[in-house]
Amino acid sequence: MSTTTEVLQNAEERMKKALVSLHKELQTVRTGRANPQMLDRIEADYYGTMTPLKGLANISTSDGRSLTIQPYDKGSLKAIEQAIHKSDLGLTPNSDGNVIRIGIPQMTEDRRKEMSKMVKKIGEESRVAVRNIRRDSDQDLKKMKGAQISEDEIKGKEADLQKLTDKYVKDIDKYIHDKEAELMEV
């Protein structure tokens, strides 16, 4: 059986992972600016295997409004184009036979609001994940009550756990607020 300190360390580790996961997911949300990470979720059918675009091509941004995709293998060009067309990002790839260029259009007000709702939903899922981690850790602490540790020590550790939870929920809220501000920027 682990100690109360180990329970708290484990909870913090898991909360950090939830925050990192949120950060990565928010990077894939399209804003008005070109960002190579926005294509991270897209996979192309490469010789029968679904492969992430970053494994098939070099993705870069030449300016704030366009992405350039240079496939490592010219044979994957069509598959990459099709995958981008099928994605929910609303992007139109243009190919010259060697390189794919994607112009990032300005987002409409409706699309910005839609993306903002999606960002809020992602944030709420992260908050729920952090609270679930707190609940699991709280149960682990309660199991230690009695034989191993006094009730006062358990109460103190539960308070520490709540502070940890509040800190990570606050961090999540900041990420969400920043992303929404970025989305609403014209």
Per-residue pLDDT tens for 112-148?
A: 888 889 899 999 999 999 999 999 999 988 888 776 6
Domain span including residue 17:
4-27+108-184
> Which CATH number covers residue 97?
3.30.1360.40
Domain boundary among 50, 82, 103: 103
Pairing of strands 57-63, 66-71: antiparallel
Torsions phi, psi of 50, nearest 5?
A: -75, 120
Question: How far are the Cα atoms of 114, 149, 164 from residue 20, in angstroms, in the given order?
Answer: 23, 33, 16
62 or 15, higher pLDDT: 15
Q: How confident is the model at residue 152 (pLDDT cuts 50, 70, 90)?
A: confident
pLDDT score of 13:
96
Is residue 175 domain-shared with residue 112, that is, in the same domain? Answer: yes
Per-residue pLDDT tens for 24-68?
A: 888 877 777 778 888 888 898 888 888 898 888 998 887 778 889
> Which CATH number covers residue 117?
1.10.132.20
As a whole number, mean pLDDT of residues 141-161 equals 83
Kindly report the CA angle at 36 between 52 and 182, in degrees rounded to 5?
Answer: 130
Q: How far apart are CA 71 and CA 55, in angstroms?
A: 9
- Structure-token pair, residue 156: 């103190």
Is residue 20 domain-shared with residue 40, that is, in the same domain? Answer: no
> Residue 178 above 80 pLDDT?
yes
* Cβ partners under 8 Å of residue 175, min gap 6: 19, 22, 23, 26, 123
Q: What is the DSSP letter of 76?
A: G
State the Rg of the chain over Cα: 22
pLDDT score of 1:
46
- Structure-token pair, residue 76: 């994957």
pLDDT score of 22:
93
pTM: 0.72
Per-residue pLDDT tens for 65-115?
A: 888 999 998 888 898 998 888 887 778 888 888 899 988 877 788 888 888
CB 80 within 8 A of CB 56: yes
Is residue 122 domain-shared with residue 61, that is, in the same domain? Answer: no
What are residue 177's DSSP bridge partners? Answer: none
